[in-house]
Amino acid sequence: MKLWIAGSVTQVKAAAATGLTTTIVTNPTVVAQWTSAQQQPIEDIADDVVQSTGLPLYIQLHGPSATSFIAEARALRRLHPLILPKLPSTTEGFIACRALASEGMPVLVTTVCSVNQAYLAAVSGAASICPYFARLGESGQDPAAFIATVAALYARQGIKTEILPASIRTLAQAEAALVAGASGLIIFDDLFRQLCDHGVTDSSLKDFETDWDKTFYRFENKLPA
């Protein structure tokens, strides 16, 4: 299982420091926010993020032609091997994915909204696909059922492409995606901070704290401040 994080530069660095996240992901909106906030080109920011966190960073490429996608991916890869390509589910995106995967790059294919696209991503050698959970639901599709269908297809065919849904806005959506067969989640920092929240956990710990107050234990004054 994997947990991929999105957010501001400060947020993704803080999330990486927890040791719980495994990859950092951007989209064009995130890239625009990063460059606006930092007043630096994305190349410099991306290099700083991977150097600081030690985590892979997927940058969504602009393209829109396969030639442009490939050139952009190679240029970013030269900066640091942890900077990886994220491509859209278009014909040009799949062509570029095939070429980049053949060079050993683990490609993330995004905006996967149909079984056909999921199939083409696997044929193209994508390491991962990214369905948009909430957006699919808003379009009238059942996103959990879609993930379950793709997961079953991949399992039947022995396909190694992983399913990492994004556009997850609530804890309930995160759980539904995981139960449906997702390989992990792509979530923003605010939801990441809520993953362990539950009322029963809170009430149980409150009760335990009362018992701790009644307990004598020697290690208390030896713990670091």
Mean pLDDT of all residues in the chain? Answer: 94
Distances (CA, A) of 126 to 22, 46, 102, 108: 18, 22, 10, 6
Q: Which pair of structure tokens corresponds to residue 198?
A: 């539950």
DSSP β-bridge partners for residue 86: 60, 108
> How much is the average pLDDT of 91-100?
98
Q: Can you give the pTM of this predicted structure?
A: 0.90
Closest CA to 108 of 86, 81, 90, 123: 86
CA–CA gap between residue 201 and residue 162 (Å, rounded): 31
Query: pLDDT confidence of 202, banded at 50, 70, 90?
Result: confident
pLDDT tens column, 103-150 = 999 999 999 999 999 999 999 999 999 999 999 999 999 999 999 999
CA–CA gap between residue 15 and residue 185 (Å, rounded): 14
pLDDT tens column, 33-49 = 999 999 999 999 999 99
> How much is the average pLDDT of 90-108?
98
CA–CA gap between residue 41 and residue 46 (Å, rounded): 9
Fold entry, domain 2-197: TIM Barrel (3.20.20)
Which pLDDT belongs to residue 218? 62
CA–CA gap between residue 81 and residue 83 (Å, rounded): 6
* Contact between residue 126 and residue 105 where contact means Cβ atoms under 8 Å apart: no
Query: pLDDT confidence of 222, banded at 50, 70, 90?
Result: low
Burial 138-170 (b: 16+ CB within 10 A, else e): eeebebbebbbebbeebeeeebebbbbbbbbee
Query: pLDDT confidence of 207, banded at 50, 70, 90?
Result: confident
Domain boundaries, the chain: 2-197
CA–CA gap between residue 22 and residue 60 (Å, rounded): 17
